[in-house]
Amino acid sequence: MNKKIIGIISAVAALLLGLLGFEVSHELIGYDLPWDEPSETSAASNSPPPSHIAGSLISHYIDVGQGDSEFIELPDGKTLLIDAGTREGGEAVISYIKSLGYSSIDYVVGTHPHSDHIGGLADVIKEFDIGQIYMPNAVNTSKTYEYLLNTISNKKKKVKTAKAGVKITSSDELSYTVDIIAPISKEYESLNNYSAVIKIRYKNRSFLYMGDAETLVEKELSNKKTDLSADVVKVGHHGSSSSSSDSFVKSTGAKYAVFSLGKDNDYGHPHAPIVKRWQKYKAELYRTDECGTITIYSDGDSLNVHLEKENAALPKAA
Ligand SMILES: [Zn+2]
């Protein structure tokens, strides 16, 4: 009798392990991986995806709930953090970057002074050795923003102004550039439009990070004839209808559109027409509320997608 029960328990355990192995395997979208597949039993479901791959650009869209945070490993090993979610989300950002094995961040960008973007930044800046910090010239009197500015000055760091035309870094040898392409105007009514918009190009691939920039900025970019083509776009303002105008979405020609947002958020993000619009132009959608942290790899030609929650791999129709 006891042997029979042990047998059943073993079978159930084996089945569960099998399922776990399935959940943590890589999601591939039509390209070969530049690294070995991990064995099915070696990875835990919360283990970080592969990182530190020489010659690869790795863009992590960290699941911070309702908010934004992207951590980018550049092809020469330098690192860039764009936003750090809310104050609570900051903890997730810190532990995620540490889990990748980093104790320093070369470039930090606070896209604009809203708490779902810069809320976690102060704690990140306290925790890591930080190189250069960029923020737009926008005024905000919130406690969260004051805390961030105090943290920066306590650490004896200075803030460089994030605005169109600023080059964060580049390498001729490795053929990559990291440019700030907005804000373009000196003043906006909406704080969202002060968002530092960043474009990273690596050989034949481009990544665009829109912050919370709205259609007004999309129009400014288009009027300025800024090259908006990008294989991967971090969709503006969490998929709100304030952003992603039809002409903008079309001009990116995006293969992948990443939505950073929290499940059942108060704003109804992403707005259904925006989801449909990205789909209309044939982008594959990935949402942090469904996929967890999303990681996209490129060697300058290939693009590979890794999802924290494998079961969410297939984009849902709007
Ligand atoms: Zn936001």
Per-residue model confidence as pLDDT tens digits over 53-105:
989 999 999 999 999 999 999 999 999 999 999 999 999 999 999 999 999 99
Mean pLDDT of 106-117: 98
Residue entry with tokens 């283990």: 47
**Ligand 1: distance of its center to the CA of 275 in Å?**
17
Domain membership of residue 254 as a residue range? 53-312
**Ligand 1: distance of its center to the CA of 67 in Å?**
5
Q: What is the pLDDT of residue 27?
A: 38
Q: What is the pLDDT of residue 317?
A: 40
Q: Is the confidence at residue 122, as pLDDT, over 90?
A: yes
**Ligand 1: distance of its center to the CA of 240 in Å?**
9
Query: pLDDT exceeding 70 applies to what percent of the chain?
Result: 83
Tokens standing for 268?
A: 């109804």
**Per-residue confidence band for 139, with pLDDT thresholds at 50, 70 and 90:** confident
Q: What is the pLDDT of residue 308?
A: 95
Q: What is the pLDDT of residue 240?
A: 97
106 is a domain residue: yes
Q: Is the confidence at residue 18, as pLDDT, over 50?
A: no
12 is a domain residue: no
Name the average pLDDT for the chain.
87
DSSP states of 123-165? HHHHHSEEEEEEE-S-----HHHHHHHHHHHHTT--EEEP-TT
Q: Which residue has the higher pLDDT, 46 or 300?
A: 300
Q: What is the pLDDT of residue 272?
A: 96
- The count of domains in the chain is 1
Q: What is the pLDDT of residue 46?
A: 56
**Ligand 1: distance of its center to the CA of 258 in Å?**
14
33 is a domain residue: no
Q: Is the peptide bond before 183 cis (omega within 30 degrees of 0)?
A: yes
Tokens standing for 310?
A: 């494998």
**Ligand 1: distance of its center to the CA of 139 in Å?**
16
285 closest CA partner among 257, 262, 306: 257
24 is a domain residue: no
**Ligand 1: distance of its center to the CA of 217 in Å?**
15
**Ligand 1: distance of its center to the CA of 212 in Å?**
5
Q: What is the pLDDT of residue 173?
A: 96
76 is a domain residue: yes
**Ligand 1: distance of its center to the CA of 2 in Å?**
57
149 is a domain residue: yes
9 is a domain residue: no
What does pTM read for this prediction?
0.85
Q: Is the confidence at residue 19, as pLDDT, over 90?
A: no
**Ligand 1: distance of its center to the CA of 11 in Å?**
46
Q: Is the confidence at residue 150, as pLDDT, over 80?
A: yes
Domain at 147, CATH number: 3.60.15.10
Query: pLDDT exceeding 90 applies to what percent of the chain?
Result: 80
**Ligand 1: distance of its center to the CA of 270 in Å?**
12
**Ligand 1: distance of its center to the CA of 314 in Å?**
25
**Ligand 1: distance of its center to the CA of 118 in Å?**
9
DSSP states of the chain? -HHHHHHHHHHHHHHHHHHHHHHHSPP--SS--SSPPPPTTT--TTSPPP---TT-EEEEE---SSS--EEEE-TTS-EEEE---STTHHHHHHHHHHHTT-SEEEEEE--SS-HHHHTTHHHHHHHSEEEEEEE-S-----HHHHHHHHHHHHTT--EEEP-TT-EEEEETTTTEEEEEEE--SS--SSGGGGPPEEEEEETTEEEEE-TT--HHHHHHHHHTT-----SEEE-GGGG-TTS--HHHHHHHT-SEEEE---TT-TT-PSPHHHHHHHHHTTPEEEEHHHHSSEEEEESSS--EEEESSGGG-SPPP-
Mean pLDDT of 150-174: 97
Number of alpha carbons in the 13 Å side-chain half-sphere of residue 138:
27
Ion ligand 1 — residues with CB < 5 Å: 116, 212
Q: Is the confidence at residue 160, as pLDDT, over 70?
A: yes
**Ligand 1: distance of its center to the CA of 44 in Å?**
31
**Per-residue confidence band for 312, with pLDDT thresholds at 50, 70 and 90:** low
